[in-house]
Amino acid sequence: MALSVKMNQDPLPDRLVTGLSKIGLAMKSRIWRRQGRKGIGPLQMQVLTYLRSCRGRAATVSTIARELAVKLPTASEVIRTLAERGLVRRRQSEADQRIITVHLTAKGAKAGKVESRWPEVLAAAAGRLSPQEQVGLLTALVKLIQVLQQQGEIPVVRMCVSCAYFQPNEHKGTAQPHHCRFFDAPFDDQALRLDCPEYSPAQTIRAKGA
């Protein structure tokens, strides 16, 4: 007679968090192994990587602080260190001297490019999943991030589901049910973006159109 063994496990949501934490730890460890000996800390690399994703490779100090979910003095200190190393350049607004814009230098772009390669390891691992598993993981991550964003736990993420241009299930029943008004094109869950340079908060466009 087969014996049934009851496993005492943590709730499934807790185990999912544990798994995500382990992935995050692996990514941080890889950053330290590659960049720690160069004297570039994780937060400094986050600033460089963020600036690489910005139009014109520039952003204000307050924007950087908000995007990285750190306090303004912390962001200012990190940027000061990067500027001293020639990785960024600070410019004061002529109209309002309180506004400081941070520009990525060629040297900073090169350093940020090195950092941008580390996700390749995770991408290779994700590539071992089936196409269906990859799409399922992407949609689950989008929902998880959206909930955290709505709860104010993380800053606004430039992803499709919180963008004014996103029209979910506009073409319901088709292979590409969603529609992007910016590109005026349909797309499916597989094409959902988590960091789109064309992103615009829904309320922003609604306000313009009001």
Query: Does the pLDDT of residue 35 top 60, yes or no?
Result: no
Helices (H), the chain: 12-35, 42-53, 61-67, 72-84, 106-115, 119-126, 131-150, 202-209
In the structure, what pLDDT confidence band is assigned to residue 73 with cuts at 50, 70 and 90? very high
Phi/psi of residue 88, each to 5°? -140, 165
What is the per-residue pLDDT across 151-210, written as a single tens digit (0 to 9) for each? 877 776 788 998 999 999 999 999 999 999 999 999 999 999 988 888 888 775 443 333
What would the mean pLDDT of 101-115 be, rounded to a whole number? 82
For the beta carbon of residue 59, count every other beta carbon within 10 angstroms: 21
Tokens, residue 175 = 């292979």
pLDDT for 87: 94
pLDDT tens across 124-156, in order?
Answer: 888 898 999 999 999 998 888 888 888 877 776
State the pLDDT at residue 30. Answer: 60
Is the per-residue pLDDT at 94 higher than 90?
Answer: no
Higher pLDDT, 58 or 120: 58
Q: Which of 149, 189, 154 is nearest to 169 (CA)?
A: 189
In angstroms, the CA 112 to CA 52 distance is 7
pTM above 0.85, yes or no: no
What Cα–Cα distance (Å) separates residue 11 from each residue in 16, 25, 154, 190?
Answer: 9, 21, 24, 29
In whole numbers, what is the pLDDT of the chain averaged over residues?
A: 81
Query: Domains in the chain and their CATH numbers?
Result: 36-115 (1.10.10.10), 124-209 (no CATH)
**Measured distance CA(61)–CA(76) in Å, rounded:** 7
- How confident is the model over 84-97, as a mean pLDDT? 90
What value, to the nearest 5°, has the Cα angle with vertex 113 and ends 110 and 114?
95
Model pLDDT, residue 84: 94
Compute how many other C-beta atoms are within 10 angstroms of the C-beta atom of residue 149.
16
